[in-house]
């Protein structure tokens, strides 16, 4: 079985063709392939499947074997792969996900622009105080098809992501768990973000998390509706457009291709 390894700002994925739905247990396979010591190593596994309502279906498996509703960096990598290996000659590609249909556009400079749709939030989910192990955090609960908890702090560079991210992820306020973003406002057009991803842990970038950060910053008057999100893996350009949708533009790079030794993995 052939695979490709892709990364978007260091958020990395193993990508496999499963158009015939031959992989019986994607969760187990995802855990095996994403293991950085015994597998290929990745934040997630992406499976290409057919769709009745879009050009393709993108199944996203986190490194812990759980299904992710949506992943912005994965979407860019997925679209670039489809173009590079002749699955489609379109530059605008629709992808079905558990979070809905995402529209991707492969740009002439090689970057990919993704319409992430409209954010979902309530007025009473913005600026909520929670206490975790005696420490108060002001959180902004926003969904981009998957859940995000955005926290503004001047301590984004040095905060213990593993310690606090894992504990906030499982706070009772988030019954389905949540992604956790620590964000420092640089100025009204630049945000610095570090992320703890639900089902993955620390990653170098998160596209939907960047979108949630922009929404939270704009709602709290910390930024304009267009901003650069500065991540550990690089920069994403985000725009909260007049139609209410969030548009994200950034790179996607293939790292290598290979062949799985089938007997070594549960497929």
pTM over 0.85: yes
The reported pLDDT for the residue numbered 262 is 65
- Tell me the C-alpha distance between 233 and 73, whole Å: 11
Question: pLDDT at position 261, please?
Answer: 83
Tokens representing 75 are 């979407």
Contact residues for 176 (Cβ-Cβ < 8 A; gap 6+): 147
CB 148 within 8 A of CB 116: no
**pLDDT digit string (tens) for 111-146?**
999 999 999 999 999 999 999 999 999 999 999 999
pLDDT in tens, 74-107: 999 999 999 999 999 999 999 999 999 999 999 9
Distance CA 95, CA 83 (A): 13
Number of other CB atoms surrounding residue 64 within 10 Å: 14
**Can you give the pLDDT at residue 64?**
97
* CB-based contacts of 54, cutoff 8 Å, min separation 6: 94, 95, 96, 101
Q: How far is CA 5 from CA 38, 155, 177, 259, in A?
A: 16, 33, 27, 11
What pLDDT does 265 receive?
A: 64
pLDDT (0 to 100) of residue 42:
98
pLDDT digits (tens, 9 = 90+) for 43-64: 999 999 999 999 999 999 999 9
Residue (of 76, 25, 92, 56) closest to 266 by Cα position: 25
Q: What angle do CA 228, 232, 235 make, to 5 degrees?
A: 25
Residues designated catalytic: 71, 206
pLDDT at residue 30 is higher than 80: yes
Residues recorded for the chain: 267
**140 to 96, 121, 215: CA distances (angstroms):** 27, 9, 9
Task: Tell me the C-alpha to C-alpha distance, in Å, between residue 39 and each of 22, 35, 212.
Answer: 20, 5, 31
In a 3-state reduction of DSSP, which class is residue 254?
strand
Residue 87 falls in which region: left (phi positive, over 0), alpha (psi -120 to 50) or beta: alpha
User: For residue 134, what pLDDT is reported?
Assistant: 96
pLDDT digits (tens, 9 = 90+) for 207-263: 999 999 999 999 999 999 999 999 999 999 999 999 999 999 999 999 999 998 866
């Amino acid at each position: 079985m052939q695979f490709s390894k892709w990364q978007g700002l260091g958020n990395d994925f193993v990508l496999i063709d499963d158009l015939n739905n031959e992989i019986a247990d994607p969760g187990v396979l995802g855990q095996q392939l994403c293991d950085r010591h015994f597998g290929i190593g990745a934040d997630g596994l992406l499976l290409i499947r057919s769709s009745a309502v879009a050009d393709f279906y993108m199944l996203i498996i986190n490194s812990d074997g759980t299904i992710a509703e949506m992943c912005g960096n994965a979407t860019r990598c997925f679209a670039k792969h489809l173009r590079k290996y002749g699955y489609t000659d379109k530059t605008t590609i629709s992808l079905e996900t558990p979070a809905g249909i995402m529209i991707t556009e492969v740009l002439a400079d090689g970057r990919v622009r993704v319409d992430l749709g409209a954010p979902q939030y309530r007025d009473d989910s913005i600026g909520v105080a929670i206490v975790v192990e005696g420490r108060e955090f002001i959180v902004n609960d926003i969904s981009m098809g998957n859940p995000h908890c955005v926290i503004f702090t001047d301590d984004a560079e040095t905060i213990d992501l593993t310690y606090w991210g894992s504990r906030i992820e499982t706070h009772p306020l988030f019954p389905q768990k949540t992604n956790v973003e620590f964000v420092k406002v640089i100025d009204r057009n630049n945000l610095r973000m570090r992320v703890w991803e639900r089902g993955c842990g620390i990653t170098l970038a998160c596209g939907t998390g960047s979108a949630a950060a922009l929404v939270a910053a704009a709602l709290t008057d910390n930024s304009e509706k267009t901003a650069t999100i500065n991540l550990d893996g690089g920069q994403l350009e985000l725009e909260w457009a007049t139609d209410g949708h969030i548009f994200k533009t950034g790179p996607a790079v293939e790292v290598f291709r290979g062949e799985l030794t089938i007997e070594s993995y549960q497929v």
